[in-house]
Structures are given as structure tokens and as C-alpha cells.
Amino acid sequence: MSYERVEQCPVCGQNDFRPRMTVEDYSVSHEQFAIVQCTNCTLLLTNPRPDAASIGRYYESNDYVSHSDTRQGLINQIYQVARSFTLRRKVALINRFVAKPGRVLDYGCGTGYFLAACQKAGWQIAGVEPNATARQLAEQHTGQPIGAGNLGQFESGSFDVITLWHVLEHVHELNGTLAELTRLLKPNGVLIVAVPNAASPDAQYYREQWAAYDVPRHLYHFTDKTIGLLFGKHQLRLRQTLPLPLDAYYVSMLSEKYRAERNGGLLAAVKSGYKSNTQAKQKGGQYSSLIFVAGKSPSA
């Protein structure tokens, strides 16, 4: 097992970090990982972290539903039901920003359900997924080959829409990947990025047990501020920020499970998710997860 320490903030380039908390990997290893914060731009990141060659073993769990497609357990069954609703919403979202179905790239496409839904709606699809098990399932669901990670195979300006659904927080080479994705976007195309929001009410409530920290798989813990700074660095103009309200309930269910001493269960999770969404609506839209829709700046 090899670990790497981030010496320079990938958002602002500064090298001064302060400790914020220590979080357990509840899903796989039960190891403890430190989360630190850049004192300049406020980005939160897992540091040190497993390097790209070692991170794979932290995804080796049947509980990791985005890779295994498991239906075992109540939480994963609820996830499967919620996914059918969110898939329709995601396809409607990309249709809103593009006049007619064009070409979409889903980076980190998991088991391929979103791409299959796009395909059914008339989109030309392409996907990238580094996990071999998930990639095989995605190929079964779409009937098309899925790339393992090389973006160089695609021509510049070849996609109307590029999506990353809860993926950016997993990417080791953050700036290199965003630069490549920006290259692949058409001049009037849209980049859609969904990430957990570390400034959400449920993040503040659950603290170290907030499931969306998901260390060490989540390398970065974004807020709307740090996403805005990162996009600006890559000459991406933020067009709209949207909520993913169902995430508050799913994350709260997992967080309640991690807070074993409370034994609050499903009812406590529903109450927590509702409270988080209510507070987010009242206080500036700081939902548990946010969708950021961006396009290339005119000067890019």
C-alpha cells in the first residue's frame, strides 16, 4: 500500500494546510484518514491518501453500490428505487441545456444506467469508467464499449454535454482531468458536475460521521466556493447551481448507520434529511449535494 501527501492545493496552488478532522473509512477498511483544509481557498481534502495505484482496494466492497449494482440491504434497495427517479431528472436536465440530443460523455459512468437512459432518449453516448467490474456492467447495460480512463482517444470539441455524477471528488489528477474535459467540450457545450457539499447542514450535523466524506475514496470535499474557484481556474463559467434533494436522505441513512451509538435508524435519517433540505432552502441553497452546470468562458 502506497500513500501520497498533497503538498500544494490543487485549486489555489498554496501549500499551507490546517487539520480539520479525522474520519473513519466505514465502508471497507475502517482505517482513519485525516481531512485538512487549505488556509487560503478553504478547499478540504483527504491528506495523505492512497495513491492512484493503491486506491482500488478501497472500492472492493459489495456495499459500494455504484460499482457493484448490489440490491442487498435496505439502504441499497432504497438507492435503487431512488435511482429510477433521478435518472429521469438527469436526462431532462441535459435536454434542457441542449436543443436536441447530441453527443454525451459520462466520465466515471459506473454501471452505465445514466448512459443507457440517454441512449434511450436519442443521445449518442460515450463513457469512461476505471473500475473493471462497473465497466463490464456498463457495457452490458449500453451495448457499447466503455473506456477505462484515457481521454486522449476523443477529439477536441466533440461533446455537447460532459457529466460527472459524484465523480470529481474521486479524481487524483484533478487539474489534468478538468483540462482534458474542457478540451473535449464543444464551444457551446455544458459540463455538469455533481458533488457532495461539505457546507451543507447535514455535513455540519454529522461531522466526522457524515457519510459523504467517504474517505479515502473521496479525495476532495467541495463547497460551492471551491468549485467556483476551480472552474474559474479552467476558464469555465458557472451557469447554474441546482440541488440534489434526495441525497440528504440517502446520506443521512448512511450517517445514522455510522453513528452506531445513536441507533436512530430510518426514522431519524428521514427527519435529518428533511431538516437538512429545509435549512438549505432557507439559507442560500446549501443542499447535501449540488449540481454545477458550466460552460466554456468566451475567452477560453
Residue 152, domain member (yes or no): yes
Query: Residue 300 above 70 pLDDT?
Result: no
Q: What pLDDT, on the 0 to 100 scale, is given for residue 79?
A: 55
Nine cell digits for residue 297: 468562458
pLDDT digits over 139-176, tens only?
999 999 999 988 999 999 999 999 999 999 999 999 99
Query: Could you give the CA distance from residue 256 to residue 261 in angstroms, rounded to a whole number?
Result: 9
Residue 31: inside a domain: no
CA distance 21 to 35: 5
The residue ranking higher by pLDDT, 1 or 251, is 251
Measured CA to CA, the distance from residue 180 to residue 252 in angstroms comes to 34
Backbone phi, psi, residue 145, to 5°: -65, 145
pTM (predicted TM-score): 0.92
Residue numbers of the domain that contains 268? 65-211+233-296
Does 189 map to a domain? yes
| 256 is a domain residue | yes
Identify each DSSP E strand in the chain by its residue range: 3-4, 17-24, 32-38, 44-46, 49-50, 103-107, 124-128, 159-165, 185-196, 220-221, 236-243, 289-296
Number of domains in the chain: 1
- pLDDT band at 266; cut points 50, 70, 90: confident
| Residue 85 covered by a domain | yes
Across the chain, mean pLDDT equals 91
CATH no. for residue 191? 3.40.50.150
